[in-house]
Amino acid sequence: FHFENCLYTIKSLCPYEKGIGFCQQSEQIVEINNLFSYNKCMYKEKLRESFKVYDEIVLKCFCGIFIGAIVAVCEVVFGKGLEWILNFREHMGCVMLLGLPFAGLAIVFLFDHWGRISRKGMGLVFEVDQGKSDWIPLRMAPFMVVSTWITHFFGGSAGREGVAMQIGATVSHYFGKYFRFKNSGVIFMVAGMAAGFAGLFGTPITAIFFALEVLVAGTLKYRAMSCAIPASFTAAYVSSLFGLHKSTFKIGSVSDLDVELSIKLLVLGILFGLIGGLFAFSLKHTKAFVANKIKDPYKRIFMMGILVAILLFVFGKCRYSGVGENLIVGSFTSEKIYSYDWILKFVLTILTLSAGFQGGEVTPLFAIGSSLGVIIAPVFGLNPLFVAALGYCSVFGAATNTFLAPIAIGMEVFGYQYFPFFFVVCAIAYIVNQNESIYALQRQVRE
């Protein structure tokens, strides 16, 4: 504003008389002058604060790009190594199962002597977010990578996303030590988790939502968006340059969302939500039960390793080893899917992880949901590929106690035109999962 012009106008409108009126008039002009001066200072202060906020946002964006690139390189090493291991084990057949119990001993020995606190894995990430811990050791990333490679090399039934997110959280947490702005630790950690998920799975939008909502169910960490968005898209792009691409499947046309289909989707959402919640519930209680019955971690992983190896060989001859990619691909390529596939993958994944082997749960959840969808589709008179896609997303969402991420992964993997169907089923699954989560330390804020 033009203070001088305003002041001149005020003076010209006032009669210049001597006496009391003139004194009162002068006091008013002084007051107006002070008011304008105060407003000018306030305006400059607000402008300065605005520039400070925007500078911080720009800094977070550049940091996100850097974090995404670094995490992506790590994910490429992990992902390519895992691909080679899975191909080698498939070529060797079930003979590798003979070494599973001894591989378990090696994993426990590795963490006992050098890994130590790193054995907490995602639990440590949740503890940092909740303020229970302020340190993620840099060695957690390589220890988790190696132990997961060992698990898959010898045929354990486990996933990979846990390691991907731990790599991202470790790298970004270490990077965040050099920046000191509000909540910088958590912001960088969320960005690293998003980059880790996106770098391995190639689904940046899903990765952003998952990282924002997984730490505290029922709320989103919006402050981390300016860092998580560039980190996720950068990681997905960089990893794609090295050959890590997302899986995509075609499920064909679907009828319009009418009353009849809505009722079917409602029932499917309830079913998939219960299965996802049951998986999380069973994993938590099986881990506690086994740990209570066999307190020595060496005995526990060795004995459970023998049991898992026998079951993997007897039921399917290694059909249920690894991440479950064979069941996912089979569900969407009209290969033979048995009615018990999802049950055995369900049970063997829980036993593998409860024994102490390392890995994740998300990809096995994709396999469980998609194979279950193929089996129950005829009951509802729906396309098996369509129902498999719904199970793929909603079982994952129910088990992780997340809502937006499963919808996003459905759209990124199967197509954005199916959004209404994914929304309905994932919403119902999220509601009925009874707040169960595969992440034991996940906080819940639902109103």
Task: Specify whether the CB–CB gap between 120 and 91 falls below 8 A.
Answer: no
Residue 24: what pLDDT?
Answer: 53
Residue 49: what pLDDT?
Answer: 55
Please choose, from the candidates 430, 426, 424, 384, the residue with its C-alpha nearest in 3D space to the C-alpha of residue 409: 426
pTM as predicted:
0.86
Q: What is the pLDDT along the chain (447 residues), one digit of tens a residue?
A: 444 555 444 445 454 444 444 445 555 555 555 555 555 556 555 545 544 555 678 888 888 999 999 999 999 999 999 999 999 988 888 889 999 999 999 999 999 888 778 888 888 888 888 888 878 888 898 999 999 999 999 999 998 888 899 999 999 888 877 776 666 778 899 999 999 999 999 999 999 999 999 998 888 888 889 899 999 999 999 999 998 888 889 998 888 888 999 999 999 999 999 999 999 999 999 999 999 999 999 999 999 999 999 999 999 888 999 999 999 999 999 889 999 999 999 999 999 999 999 988 999 999 999 999 999 999 999 999 999 999 999 999 999 999 999 999 999 999 999 999 999 999 999 999 888 999 988 887 755
Helix (H, G, I), strand (E, B) or coil at 322: strand
CA 315, 320, 322 angle in degrees (round to 5)?
A: 150
Q: What b/e sequence results for 332-368 when a residue is b if at least 16 CB atoms lie within 10 Å of its CB, and e otherwise?
A: beeeebeeebbbbbbbbbbbbbbbbbbbbbbbbbbbb
Task: Specify whether the CB–CB gap between 147 and 113 falls below 8 A.
Answer: no
Running DSSP on this structure, what letter comes out for residue 157?
A: B
Residue 318: what pLDDT?
Answer: 87
Residue 201: what pLDDT?
Answer: 92
Please choose, from the candidates 218, 144, 142, 215, the residue with its C-alpha nearest in 3D space to the C-alpha of residue 185: 215
Residue 372: what pLDDT?
Answer: 97
Q: What b/e sequence results for 229-266 when a residue is b if at least 16 CB atoms lie within 10 Å of its CB, and e otherwise?
A: bbbbbbbbbbbbeeebebeebebeebeeeeeebeebbe
